[in-house]
Amino acid sequence: MSAPLSAYASEIYLQGMGGVLPPFTTDSCALEQAAREALEPGPFWYVAGAAGSGATNRANREAFDRWRLVPRMLTGATDRDLGTTVLGERLRAPIITAPIGVQSIVHPEAEKAVAAVAAELGLAMALSTVSSFCLEDVAAANGDGVRWFQLYWPNDEQVCLSLLARAKAAGFTTLVVTLDTWLLGWRPHDLDRAYLPFLTGEGLANYFTDPAFCAPLDKPPAEDLPAALMRWLPVFSGVDHTWDQVAFLRENWDGPVVLKGIQHVDDARRALDCGVQGIVVSNHGGRQVDGAIASLDALPAIADAVGDSLEVLFDSGVRTGADILKALALGARAVLVGRPWVYGLALGGTAGVRHVLRSLLADLDLALALSGHASAAGLGRDALQPH
């Protein structure tokens, strides 16, 4: 874990020189196609799909292309440090694995794979409420790694308090509250296939192992799935909470609270007023609101408004090392990465997640080096030019 990140690029190049092929592509933009060939259409489109016409998802990528890095020479960037502190915790690079629900639809190792690899690589992981394994099992797989718990804010106070207490007891440090998915977006790929994995109970491990969730049920979820699902649906969705209720979460979580799904600068200011510690500028990978702005286009103004007082994290569309540099230069402290390593999970379980994240770290290190920067912390807007 203490080897410099540059070792990953050297290792992959040396293997190439010895004629050893990587397990699958090193081109993170080609992962989607590789996963498409490996997965059944239902799970593939669940992961790759987006809201409506897909416009927001496309906009997320197009926005990265509208910024270009301006490389600097002879800066002496021989020894690089990608390490950073996020919400008081030291990470080896400014990367957090995004909370992704129902991972068992692509591979049986599911969240345990990313938990193990994130810890091994010194990155933080964010575990979804809607995970295939319960949070205690994922915590065990993450060992002494940095783990955050993502909350889908339950419409039941007892279930909410119980999940928070369990996550805290299992060593999750930061609470990430996702605000943009209190209803599922309009997702034609899933609707056309009637593919809604959680309706078979998949992804509901945290609920089905929860005493407060199970209390009103006559039988355990395994013995009466329809009844458990009828309880889950209104607990999960249908109610938009309000800003004044954020205090409840802050009061009941002993640690940093981050609000995920912020796109408007006024919402970033409201987050600051609420007393939370951070935000994730995110549009959920374009899966919720069709025709919305690119998440990257929301970032600069938000970072300008609250970046000195809140930790501003970013996601939606990050694929390459260059993308990460761009997000950092535009004011993010770290990025969350979603689909790329989920495709890696689909293609090779734990080893597949490892290959994707090591490749991304190698790419990031080389992008930083060859743009003439010795540390990610010093990146400013002068590292970029609009295109």
Residues with catalytic function: 284
Question: Site mask, ligand FMN, residues 7-26, x = CB under 6 A?
Answer: --------------------
Angle formed at CA 151 by CA 302 and CA 121, multiple of 5 degrees: 80
Give the sign of the dihedral formed by CA 362, CA 368, CA 374, CA 375.
Answer: negative
Strands 384-386 and 67-69: antiparallel
Beta-carbon contacts of 138 under 8 Å, excluding residues fewer than 6 positions away, are 111, 112, 115, 127, 131, 147
Nearest partner of 289 among 262, 308, 265, judged by Cα: 262
Let me know: does 155 contact 235? Beta carbons within 8 Å.
yes
Q: Does 97 bind ligand 173 (CB under 6 A)?
A: no
Q: Which residues pair with 258 in a beta bridge?
A: 176, 278
Q: Among 60, 181, 277, 316, which residue sits at the site for ligand 173 (rule: CB under 6 A)?
A: 181
CA–CA separation, 134 and 176 (whole Å): 17
The secondary structure element, H or E, covering residue 374 is none
Nearer to ligand FMN, 170 or 336 (CB): 336
Phi/psi of residue 258, nearest 5 degrees: -125, 135
**Residue 206 touches which member of ligand FMN, ligand 173, none, C-beta under 5-8 Å by kind:** none
Contacts (CB under 6 A) with ligand 173, residues 32-91: none
Q: What is the largest CA-CA distance in the chain?
A: 70
Name the residue with the smallest CB distance to ligand 173: 101
Let me know: does 313 contact 336? Beta carbons within 8 Å.
yes
Contacts (CB under 6 A) with ligand 173, residues 285-344: 287
Nearest partner of 154 among 119, 124, 181, judged by Cα: 181
Q: Does 99 bind ligand FMN (CB under 6 A)?
A: yes
Nearer to ligand 173, 122 or 203 (CB): 203
**Residue 189 touches which member of ligand FMN, ligand 173, none, C-beta under 5-8 Å by kind:** none
How many residues touch ligand 173 under the rule CB under 6 A: the total is 8
Q: Among 8, 44, 198, 253, which residue sits at the site for ligand 173 (rule: CB under 6 A)?
A: 198
Phi/psi of residue 243, nearest 5 degrees: -55, -35
**Residue 198 touches which member of ligand FMN, ligand 173, none, C-beta under 5-8 Å by kind:** ligand 173
Give the DSSP letter of residue 383.
G
Q: Does 100 bind ligand FMN (CB under 6 A)?
A: yes
| In the complex, least distance from residue 260 CB atom to ligand 173, rounded to whole angstroms | 10
**Residue 337 touches which member of ligand 173, ligand FMN, none, C-beta under 5-8 Å by kind:** ligand FMN
**Residue 150 touches which member of ligand 173, ligand FMN, none, C-beta under 5-8 Å by kind:** ligand FMN
Nearer to ligand 173, 28 or 128 (CB): 128
For the packed helices 295-306 and 321-329, what is the interaxial angle rounded to 10 degrees? Answer: 40
**How many of the other CB atoms lie within 10 Å of CB of 312?**
27
| In the complex, least distance from residue 261 CB atom to ligand 173, rounded to whole angstroms | 10
Q: Does 348 bind ligand FMN (CB under 6 A)?
A: no
3-state secondary structure of 315: coil
Segment interacting with ligand FMN, rule: CB under 6 A, options 141-149, 166-174, 215-223, 315-323: 315-323
Q: Does 101 bind ligand 173 (CB under 6 A)?
A: yes
How many residues touch ligand FMN under the rule CB under 6 A: the total is 23
Contacts (CB under 6 A) with ligand 173, residues 131-170: none
| In the complex, least distance from residue 337 CB atom to ligand FMN, rounded to whole angstroms | 5
**Residue 49 touches which member of ligand FMN, ligand 173, none, C-beta under 5-8 Å by kind:** none
Segment interacting with ligand FMN, rule: CB under 6 A, options 8-16, 18-26, 335-343, 351-359: 335-343
Question: With the CA atoms of 130, 136, 139 and 144 taken in that order, what torsion angle do they form, in degrees rounded to the nearest 10?
Answer: 160
Beta-carbon contacts of 79 under 8 Å, excluding residues fewer than 6 positions away, are 4, 374
Q: Which residues bind ligand FMN (CB under 6 A)?
A: 46-47, 98-101, 128, 130, 150, 178, 260, 282, 284-285, 287, 315-318, 336-339
Q: Which residues bind ligand 173 (CB under 6 A)?
A: 101-102, 130, 181, 198, 203, 284, 287
